[in-house]
Amino acid sequence: MKLLVTGGLGFIGSNFIRYMLSEHPDTEIVNLDKIGLGANPENLKDMEKIERYQFIKGDISNPQVIIGLVKKIDVLANFAAETHVDRSIVDPAPFLRSNTLGTFTLLEAIRKFNENVKYIQISTDEIYGEILKGSFCELDRLNPSNPYSATKASADMLCLAYHRTYGLNVNITRCTNNFGPYQFPEKLIPKTIIRAAKDLPIPLYGTGRNVRDWIYVLDHCDAVSLVLSKGKLGEIYNISSGDEVPNIKIVKEILDLLYKSEDLITFVEDRPGHDFRYSLDSSKIRSELGWKPRYTFSSALKETVKWYVENESWWKPLSTKKILHPTPWKIR
Q: Dump pLDDT digits (tens) for 274-321.
A: 778 889 999 999 999 999 999 999 999 999 999 999 999 999 888 776
Q: Distance between CA 234 and CA 119 in Å, rounded? A: 10
The ranges assigned to domains in the chain are 2-178+217-239, 180-212+242-277+295-324
The question of whether 126 is a catalytic residue gets the answer yes
Catalytic residue among 28, 82, 125, 253: 125
Q: Distance between CA 332 and CA 187 in Å, rounded? A: 20
The question of whether 259 is a catalytic residue gets the answer no
- pLDDT attached to residue 321: 60
CATH code: domain 180-212+242-277+295-324 is 3.90.25.10
Catalytic residue among 28, 33, 59, 126: 126
8 A C-beta contact, residue 255 and residue 190: no
- pLDDT attached to residue 85: 82
The Cα-based distances of 114 to 71, 100, 117, 225, 315 in angstroms read: 6, 21, 6, 21, 39
H or E element that contains 222:
helix 217-230
Report the half-sphere exposure of 171 (CA within 13 A, side-chain side).
Answer: 22
Span 122-140, pLDDT tens digits = 999 999 998 889 999 999 9
CATH code: domain 2-178+217-239 is 3.40.50.720
The question of whether 128 is a catalytic residue gets the answer no
For the chain, list residues with pLDDT below 50.
331-332
Catalytic residue among 53, 128, 148, 295: 148
- pLDDT attached to residue 331: 44
- pLDDT attached to residue 251: 96
Q: Distance between CA 150 and CA 93 in Å, rounded? A: 12
Instruction: Look at the chain and count its residues.
Output: 332
Return the amino acid letter for 287: S
Quote the DSSP letter at residue 146: S
